[in-house]
Amino acid sequence: MKVLVINAGSSSIKYQLYDMPAGQVLAKGSVEKIGDDDSKLTHRCGSQTTTREEAVADHKMAMQRILEILVDKQMGAIAELAEIATVGHRVVHGGEEFTGSMIVDDRVLASIEKFVDLAPLHNPHNLVGIRAAQDKLPDAIQVACFDTAFHTSIPEVAYMYALPYELYEKYRVRRYGFHGTSHRYVARRAATLMDIDKYQFNTITCHLGNGCSMAAVRNGRSIDTSMGFTPLEGLVMGTRTGDFDPAILFYLADKGYDMGQLNTLCNKKSGLLGISGVSNDMRTLEQLAEEGNPRAKLAIEVFSYRVRKYIGAFLTVLNPLHAIVFTGGIGENSPLVRKLICQDLDHLGIRFDAQANETEKAREKTISSADSDVRIMVIPTNEEEAIAGDAFELAAPVAKAT
Please state the separation of Cα 362 from the chain's center in Å. Answer: 22
Sheet strand arrangement including 2-8: 48-53, 40-45, 24-32, 13-19, 2-8, 84-91, 141-146, 102-103
DSSP codes joined into one string, 383-398: HHHHHHHHHHHHHHHH
Helix (H/G/I), strand (E/B), else coil: 229: coil
Helix (H/G/I), strand (E/B), else coil: 100: coil
Smallest Cα–Cα separation from 11: which of 39, 46, 51?
39
Residues 6 or more apart whose CB falls under 8 angstroms from that of 106 comprise none
Please state the separation of Cα 312 from the chain's center in Å. Answer: 22
Active-site residue identified among 19, 72, 147, 353 = 147
Rg (CA), the chain: 21
Helix (H/G/I), strand (E/B), else coil: 265: helix
CA–CA separation, 308 and 342 (whole Å): 7
CA pseudo-torsion sign 229, 134, 19, 78? negative
C-alpha distance from residue 169 to each of 15, 124, 160, 172 (Å)? 38, 25, 11, 6
Helix (H) or strand (E) holding 379: none
Compute the C-alpha angle 68/392/155, nearest 5°. Answer: 120
Buried b (16+ CB within 10 A) or exposed e, 259-280: eeeeeebbbeebbbbbbbeebb
* 147 part of the active site: yes
CA–CA separation, 111 and 395 (whole Å): 20
Residue 284: exposure state from Cβ atoms within 10 A (0-12, 13-18, ≥19): middle
Catalytic site positions: 147
